[in-house]
């Protein structure tokens, strides 16, 4: 039985965390922490959860305490945003290298400066190579759904990698939406009991975590991380299918929204996908063959599936909510170009950087993108293939 | 010892055989060597408690010497030793006669 709730993205995240009821949650209790943790702290104070809640003095310590708890065999979580994630950076890599299945909601916000607290993807795109799985959410429903799935994905014995569930700051985090949540008992059953592969607290079978790992074995451990990431797509798909059987909302790594016969396809992540779907519907009503490829899992990135999804496209627009300074376009654009290399594809591709620091992206902007793409079929990728939407030129 | 492939080792750098550092010599780069004098020692075991590398050797609850394969020469044992003159003295490795 689903419970229909009206929650902000932050509260949807806190609701999922309440139901997951991890053994340990460590958090920095001041900004850039968000209301998600504020709400979870209320659940702790009200006795709704059994989680050991550790308030620490920085985001670096929050991730450190989470890593320590996870190494001790606990199901451990934290949450962060923007510069908080930046301060965790060192330990973000360590969590992945120690193969600790930590789940962390990240509220996507700009990495200052000048000082800005609004949405863009510069925070999580910056750590796309840290070894974490990254699931981007389109709205509050997906925040909730992705968090419940993330626990099962992270803890899968073939994966054992931490998962970031990201959602757009303010646009999702502070907007109330109607969503369906599981009953507590169903959610508990879904996440199941956590049986850690290793536990520092298991004195019957003592192990050492975090030893020195030099020229002779470090490389082998990195190769193992690659293997965990390679195992992840099948697990994400399986968990998404099973979640669909339970809730009626199945998930995949990508979502192809009216792309099957589309001539013009745009690619996006996060809340912008909702805006884009509306425009796709409008333009379809006008008889235009347009579609959206939504990337839910940016890590692991599914290059074959992406290439397959774009096979019929005659022009492609890639939307990036962050900049990779000095590189040929934004991070999503680079992945798409790489995925299409060798896929026998000479489709023109234009990168659209948008929405930095919370700059709004409207249906008109998306329509403009499609209208620009309309001019491209049959010609090569234009010289000015890195464009900016919603910027005063 | 032949090195193993990535498929043959535990993930995450975990050492499944905890405490196997005893089989690995870690005391080779010591500058100062702690020298223990049995005749001055009052067996208070402060050195044993304080040594960060478990390199103070005991038998039946009594100090019997130092494990030089693992002692890194930090000098904490000597610093903590309460007797005067110290029952553990730090000597430059190059000055110690083998
Ligand atoms: S010098 Fe340091 S490492 Fe060596 S025995 Fe003394 S306390 Fe232990
Ligand atoms: S601290 Fe000094 S006196 Fe005490 S047990 Fe060690 S060597 Fe002996």
Among B76, B86, B87, which residue has the most ligand 1 atoms within 8 Å of its CB, making it the best to mutate?
B76
The rounded distance, in Å, linking the Cα atoms of A8 and A36 is 9
The architecture CATH gives domain A2-247: 3-Layer(aba) Sandwich (3.40)
pLDDT in tens, A68-116: 999 999 999 999 999 999 999 999 999 999 999 999 999 999 998 999 9
Enumerate the H helices of chain B as residue ranges: 46-50, 76-80
Query: Same CATH fold, A254-388 and A2-247?
Result: yes
pLDDT in tens, A242-264: 999 999 999 999 999 999 999 99
- The contacts of residue A37 (CB under 8 Å, 6+ apart) are A14, A27, A29, A79
Q: Which residues of B touch A216 (CB under 8 A)?
A: 3
- The predicted pLDDT at position A343 comes to 83
Would an 8 Å CB–CB cutoff place B18 in contact with chain A?
yes
Fold of A254-388: Rossmann fold (3.40.50)
For atom 6 of ligand 2, the residue with the nearest CA is B47
Ligand 1 atom at shortest distance from the alpha carbon of B78 = 6
Q: Among all residues of chain A, which has the CA nearest to that of B14?
A: A209
Inter-chain contacts counted by CB atoms under 8 A, chains A and B:
52
Maximal C-alpha separation, chain B? 56
Buried/exposed B37-63: b ≥16 CB within 10 Å, e otherwise: eeeebeeeebbbeebebebbbeeeeeb
Beta-sheet strand order (sheet of A315-320): A254-257, A290-295, A264-268, A315-320, A349-353, A386-388
Would an 8 Å CB–CB cutoff place B4 in contact with chain A?
yes
Would an 8 Å CB–CB cutoff place B42 in contact with chain A?
no
Is this model's pTM higher than 0.90 or not? yes
The rounded distance, in Å, linking the Cα atoms of A90 and A127 is 10
Segment A328-336 shows an average pLDDT of 97
ipTM: 0.89
* Highest CATH level, class, for B35-91: alpha beta
The residue with greater pLDDT, A14 or A346, is A14
The rounded distance, in Å, linking the Cα atoms of A169 and A110 is 9
pLDDT in tens, A177-219: 999 999 999 999 999 999 999 999 999 999 999 999 999 999 9
Pocket of ligand 1 (CB under 6 A): B 34, 51, 53, 55-56, 66, 71-77
Phi-psi region of B19 (alpha: psi -120 to 50; beta: other; left: phi over 0): left
Q: Could you tell me what percentage of chain B is helix, strand and coil, using 3-state DSSP and rounding each to the nearest 5?
A: 20, 20, 60
Ligand 1 atom at shortest distance from the alpha carbon of B73 = 1
Q: Is the pLDDT of residue B1 over 60?
A: no
Domain ranges of chain B: 35-91
Domain ranges of chain A: 2-247, 254-388
């Amino acid at each position: 039985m689903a419970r229909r709730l009206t929650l902000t993205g932050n509260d949807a995240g806190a609701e999922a965390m309440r139901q997951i009821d991890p053994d340990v949650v460590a958090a920095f209790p001041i900004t850039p922490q968000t209301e998600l943790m504020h709400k979870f702290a209320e659940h702790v104070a009200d006795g709704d959860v059994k989680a050991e809640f550790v308030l620490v003095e920085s985001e670096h310590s929050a991730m450190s305490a989470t890593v320590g708890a996870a190494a001790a065999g606990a199901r451990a979580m934290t949450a962060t945003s923007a510069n908080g994630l930046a301060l965790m950076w060192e330990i973000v890599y360590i969590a992945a290298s120690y193969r600790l299945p930590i789940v962390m909601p990240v509220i996507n916000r700009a990495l200052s400066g000048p000082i800005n607290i609004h949405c863009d993807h510069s925070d999580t795109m910056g750590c796309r190579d840290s070894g974490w799985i990254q699931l981007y959410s389109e709205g509050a429903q997906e925040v909730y759904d992705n968090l419940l799935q993330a626990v099962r994905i992270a803890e899968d014995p073939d994966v054992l990698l931490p998962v970031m569930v990201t959602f757009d700051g303010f646009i999702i985090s502070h907007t109330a939406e109607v969503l369906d949540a599981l009953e507590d008992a169903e959610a508990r059953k879904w996440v199941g009991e956590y049986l850690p592969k290793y536990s520092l607290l298991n004195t019957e079978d003592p192990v050492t975590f975090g030893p020195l790992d030099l020229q002779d074995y470090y490389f082998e451990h990195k190769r193992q991380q690659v293997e965990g990431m390679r195992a992840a797509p099948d697990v994400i798909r399986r968990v998404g299918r099973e979640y669909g059987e339970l809730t009626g909302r199945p998930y995949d790594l990508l979502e192809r929204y009216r792309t099957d016969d589309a001539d013009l396809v745009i690619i996006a992540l996060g809340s912008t996908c909702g805006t884009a779907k509306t425009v796709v519907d409008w333009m379809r009503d006008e008889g235009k063959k347009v579609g959206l490829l939504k990337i839910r899992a940016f890590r692991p990135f599914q290059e074959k599936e992406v290439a397959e999804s774009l096979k019929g496209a005659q022009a492609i627009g890639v939307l990036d909510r962050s900049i990779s300074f000095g590189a040929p376009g934004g991070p999503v654009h680079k992945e798409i170009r790489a995925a299409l290399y060798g896929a026998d594809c000479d489709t023109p591709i234009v990168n659209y950087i948008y929405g930095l620091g919370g700059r709004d992206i409207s249906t008109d902007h998306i329509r403009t993108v499609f209208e620009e793409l309309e001019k491209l079929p049959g010609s090569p990728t234009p010289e000015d293939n890195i464009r900016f939407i919603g910027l005063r030129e | 010892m032949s090195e193993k492939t990535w498929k043959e080792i535990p993930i995450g750098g975990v050492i499944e055989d905890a405490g196997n550092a005893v089989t690995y010599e870690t005391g080779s780069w010591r500058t100062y060597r702690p020298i223990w004098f049995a005749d001055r020692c009052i067996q208070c075991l402060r050195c044993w408690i304080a040594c960060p590398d478990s390199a103070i050797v005991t038998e039946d609850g009594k100090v019997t010497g130092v494990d030089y394969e693992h002692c890194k020469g930090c000098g904490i044992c000597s610093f903590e030793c309460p007797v005067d003159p110290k029952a553990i003295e730090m000597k430059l490795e190059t000055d110690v006669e083998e």
